[in-house]
Amino acid sequence: MDSATSRDSFQIIHTMHKEALLAHRKQSEDTSTLLGGQSPKKLVDDGKYILLMTTGTEVTEKSEQENLQSCQNAILTALPENRDQPKPVIVVGPAGFGKTTALEKLILDWATGKHLQHFSWVFKFTFSYLNVQKGVMSLKELLLQTHSHLSPESLALVLQKPQSLLFLFDGLDQYKNNLDLPTSHTLCSDPNQPSPVPVLIANLVHGTLLQGAATLLTSRPTTPTLESLDGHRVELLGFLKPQRNDYFNSFFSDPTAANRAFQNMERTLGFYEICTSPNFCWTTCFIYKSLMEAGESLPETLTQLFVCITGHLIRALSLDKDHARDLMSSLGRMASHCCLSPHSQCSTEEMTSFGLQQFLTTPTSLKDFLHIDGAPESKDCSFSFHTQMMQEFITAVSFYLDESEEVNVEDLLEKHGGCMEFLDLYLVGLAEPSQRKPLESHLGMWNPDRIVDLNSWFRSTTEKALQSYQKERHLHYLRLLHQSQNKKLVKDNMRSARGINYGGLSVQDCVVLNYTVTCMEEWDQLNLYRSIDLTEEKASLLVPAMSLSRVINLGQSSFTAGALNHLALALRQGRTIELDMSNNHMGDTGFKLLCTGLGDCHIEILKLPVCELTDACCEDLVAVLTSGRSHLRVLNLRANALRDPGLIKLSQALGSPHCKLQELQLQMCEFTGESMKALSTALSSGQSQLRILDLAQNQITDHGVDWLVKALQHPCCQLQSLILFDNDLTAACCAGVAAALLSECCRLTELDLSVNELGQEGALQLLKALSKPGHPLEKLSLVRCELNPLVFKELGVLLSNGTSRLKSLSLGLNKVGDEGAKHLWVALGDQRCRLEHLDIEMIQLTDASIGDLSTAVSASGSLKSLVLKNNLLTDRSVPALVRVTQDSRTMQEMNLQYNDFSEDVFELMDQCAKIKY
């Protein structure tokens, strides 16, 4: 045969092969089923649903045509025209994601000349077909067996050019053999060489047989063989939310019905990964449409959806209750077997053993429940469930239909726990009368003993889970409670639940937590600490729960603008009295959104430390505080760069009769003394209700304090606690502070001047003022103020003079040693001393002081807490300290941390629960 004749013959065979593939498509049966979804042939021929498929890793909202192009390009790019030794292309996706449809589309495009024209021949196999090919044959014989339109002579011609061949293999997850690399015993490189079929396929996929031929396989991602198969992977992601919306709009002719169905699915099911499956979307749309046409309610849970699906399938079979019950019980046995076996398929012989023989003669009874590969009467036929979800649901149903006493719910879950994700969820849902009733009308009554068993198990396990601190256990049982849709059951279980942090919730967790809180009708604390991805969708789902919560903790969280809008809405319409937004990147823009809810709500305590706020936010804050509708009493703005302009604006609010603030935390806000005049004016205005003011770690200096002491001496100033920790103060400010303390108008009960260089001169001026009768101060902090033993001597005199009201005294980090401390021990032993708390951390106390210390503690009639941290005490001190602490009538805690103790005395200190070390 000359070359021209050879080319003509090759072209004729080539054309005949394409025509045969197209003819086979036309003759193929439409296998659309409710659970199996629409057939690949119908999807490809209709052309509208396949367009919604996405591939790759990018989450996108592309148009339908762009997504189709993305899908095609991902596969076509992996099948290049010029290749030396091509690797297998593996199209991976869960069940129902369109893997078979993708192959159908490839074959159609090749046969009609649209794509892949660098391949002259395309051959398709299913792994379920290859499973039943027994014995020994050559690749040539296998191809002739499956492609009868080819003659041996023409096929021999085809196989001479391996680079022009593309082999498609569908359903690797169903393959019962392996695809291990060929060894010397399993090597096959000649298409005419007889070998076991698994050997042929392994050699073909790995490129040792027909070297240069391209192969493409489809598989579910859980297939073990994938791990050892080296190739180009193409991931099918299924439907994203925008694509599901498009899908519903395509399915329903009425836009209103489409929107109602879509919103219901997203609200009740959209958080499940199964919703990305095109098949699942088709099934859901079909059921929703049937329910809407019948005027029935749409399902609220996954259990209710599968109750509707199963009821629809049973009605379509027209079976009486006994036969329907037999069918579901038998399918339940099959479902359990498929879960526990290495392969998800069953043979005809196994189907008979499950009690399904009566239904094999009428396979239409099974096709909606099962995928049937082959003739049902053939021993080579295989059966599998269309979806894992339905397999698990039927297992749960059959549990309640079983009249035996062999299995209880705990054994069932333990047996199937590793392979059934939703079994306990279905069991809890189906135990509820309202949810099981539709199926009982088709299948007969549930076994009452099984319901009792489930309820007993659920009660005990839920109580244990909700009393634990394990977040995932909590959330899992909240999912089960949500599935029950039983408000009383939720209330009974949640009353004793331990409060934990639910930060970092998924969309599903937001749904179930919101359901739980709304069932309770009120919630003490909604702890969402470290919700680092609180999106608008999640926040919108949590609005009712937030509205019912008295305390909301969103510390160390991050929000979208949409999420803040929903939070503001929840505050406006809710009963929240405390909101913690600490340590997030809200900024002025985010705070402005939050303020839309703060202006008219019940919030009394607002925590906003480290929120990247500036003076620009203060205008919005002032508007809230002076609105006349704000209930804010406590405001924490620590570590925000408000600076002097911000405090000047806030001072305007403090001077308003509408402002109800009583506590203001302004540490590390970059203030100077320049803003203290405005603050002093506000405090003296007669309108300010401020009682507690913390200005720690701002560079206020002596100049700023001069303004504050003027306010303290004003009769209208209500301030009771003033924190001036680390404010760059010196002894120069102490005369003014002393004058304020001597003023009859001063109401201060707490003063903190720690970490300022007051020295002996400044301290003595303060103590002189405090020695006068009538001053109200009860709590004084002078930590690291450069004090010396003389100051400690005067402090001792002050504490025992009978006029001091001091109950708490903090003097740490002043290096006075035993010499300074002895004056305190003398004062403590005086019955006129009222001190209850004494903190002398790191003053260089040694064992030499323990005798005086013990005598003082024994004699004290008021001391409850003594802090001796970070001193120079050793093991020698421990026996006396333990003894005096145990014997003291008033002592509640002695803190001995970070002293020079050895492990030898730990056991001795353990004998006294009051000692902390």
pLDDT tens figures, 343-374: 778 988 999 999 998 888 776 668 889 988 88
CA–CA–CA angle 207, 209, 215 (5° rounding): 50
- Reported confidence tier of residue 704, pLDDT bands at 50, 70, 90: very high
3-state SS assignment for residue 720: coil
- Reported confidence tier of residue 69, pLDDT bands at 50, 70, 90: very low
Residue 515 lies in a domain: no
pLDDT tens, position by position, 226-258: 887 888 888 888 888 888 999 999 999 999 999
- The better pLDDT of the pair 538, 101 is held by 538
For residues 611 and 618, give the distance between their C-alpha atoms in angstroms, rounded to a whole number: 13
Residue 743 lies in a domain: no
Helices (H) and strands (E) in the chain, counts: 37, 26
pLDDT at 26: 75
For residues 230 and 287, give the distance between their C-alpha atoms in angstroms, rounded to a whole number: 41
Question: What is the total count of domains within the chain?
Answer: 3
Average pLDDT of span 117-145 = 92
Cα-to-chain-centroid distance, residue 575: 25
Which residue, 544, 592, 533, is CA-closest to 566?
544
pLDDT tens, position by position, 258-308: 999 999 999 999 989 899 888 999 999 999 999 999 999 999 999 999 999
Whether 11 and 89 share a structural domain: yes
CA distances from 176 to 173, 215, 347, 520 (A): 8, 19, 12, 51
Pairing of strands 663-665, 692-694: parallel
Q: Is the pLDDT of residue 68 over 80?
A: no
Residue 776 lies in a domain: no
Which residue, 277, 175, 167, 273, is CA-closest to 224?
175
CA trace torsion 620, 626, 627, 628 (10° rounding): 160
For residues 97 and 276, give the distance between their C-alpha atoms in angstroms, rounded to a whole number: 8
At 204, which amino acid appears? Answer: L
- Reported confidence tier of residue 488, pLDDT bands at 50, 70, 90: very high
Whether 284 and 135 share a structural domain: no
Q: Is the pLDDT of residue 322 over 50?
A: yes
Q: Which of 431, 459, 475 is the last residue of a domain?
A: 475
- Reported confidence tier of residue 6, pLDDT bands at 50, 70, 90: low
Ramachandran area for residue 812 (φ above 0: left; ψ -120 to 50: alpha; else beta): beta
Whether 210 and 260 share a structural domain: no
At 885, which amino acid appears? Answer: T
3-state SS assignment for residue 324: helix
Q: Is the pLDDT of residue 764 over 90?
A: yes
Which residue, 550, 548, 570, is CA-closest to 559?
570
* Cβ–Cβ < 8 Å for 748, 780: no
Cα-to-chain-centroid distance, residue 197: 47
Q: Domain holding 84: CATH number? A: 3.40.50
Token readout for 839 is 């903190």
pLDDT at 35: 85
pLDDT tens, position by position, 375-406: 887 888 889 998 899 999 999 999 999 988 77
Token readout for 359 is 């239904």
Contacts by residues 374-383 (CB-CB < 8 Å, ≥ 24 positions apart):
374/128, 374/132, 376/348, 377/348, 378/348, 379/347, 379/348, 379/349, 380/132, 381/347, 381/348, 382/128, 382/131, 382/132, 382/174, 382/345, 382/346, 382/347, 383/334, 383/345, 383/346, 383/347, 383/348, 383/351
Most confident of 90-94, 169-173, 422-426: 422-426
Average pLDDT of span 564-583 = 97
Residue 331 lies in a domain: yes
Whether 70 and 218 share a structural domain: yes
pLDDT at 8: 67
Whether 254 and 138 share a structural domain: no
pLDDT tens, position by position, 802-852: 889 999 999 999 999 999 999 999 999 999 999 999 999 999 999 999 999
Q: How many CA atoms lie within 13 A of 439 on its CB side?
A: 27
Query: Bridge partners of 900?
Result: 874
Residue 652 lies in a domain: no
Q: How many CA atoms lie within 13 A of 910 on its CB side?
A: 5
- Reported confidence tier of residue 695, pLDDT bands at 50, 70, 90: very high
- Reported confidence tier of residue 70, pLDDT bands at 50, 70, 90: low
Token readout for 879 is 């026996």
Integer-rounded Cα Rg, in Å, for the chain is 39
Whether 248 and 219 share a structural domain: no
Whether 27 and 108 share a structural domain: yes
Residue 525 lies in a domain: no
Residue 273 lies in a domain: yes
pLDDT at 47: 63
Ramachandran area for residue 33 (φ above 0: left; ψ -120 to 50: alpha; else beta): beta
- 8-state DSSP, 900: B
pLDDT at 60: 42
Q: Which domain holds residue 30?
A: 3-238
Q: Which of 238, 256, 282 is the last residue of a domain?
A: 238
Whether 234 and 248 share a structural domain: no
Whether 257 and 116 share a structural domain: no
Whether 188 and 317 share a structural domain: no
Question: Cβ contacts of residue 294 below 8 Å, gap of 6+?
Answer: none
- % of the chain residues with pLDDT over 90: 74
pLDDT at 325: 96
Residue 180 lies in a domain: yes
Whether 215 and 272 share a structural domain: no
pLDDT tens, position by position, 399-446: 999 988 778 999 999 999 888 999 999 999 999 999 999 999 999 999
Q: Which of 257, 272, 298 is the last residue of a domain?
A: 298
For residues 405 and 758, give the distance between their C-alpha atoms in angstroms, rounded to a whole number: 82
% helix, strand, coil for the chain, step of 5: 50, 10, 40
Cα-to-chain-centroid distance, residue 469: 16
pLDDT at 363: 64
For residues 426 and 391, give the distance between their C-alpha atoms in angstroms, rounded to a whole number: 11
For residues 173 and 127, give the distance between their C-alpha atoms in angstroms, rounded to a whole number: 8
pLDDT at 56: 44
Whether 338 and 469 share a structural domain: yes
* Cβ–Cβ < 8 Å for 83, 214: yes
- Reported confidence tier of residue 71, pLDDT bands at 50, 70, 90: low
- Reported confidence tier of residue 19, pLDDT bands at 50, 70, 90: confident
Q: Is the pLDDT of residue 501 over 60?
A: yes
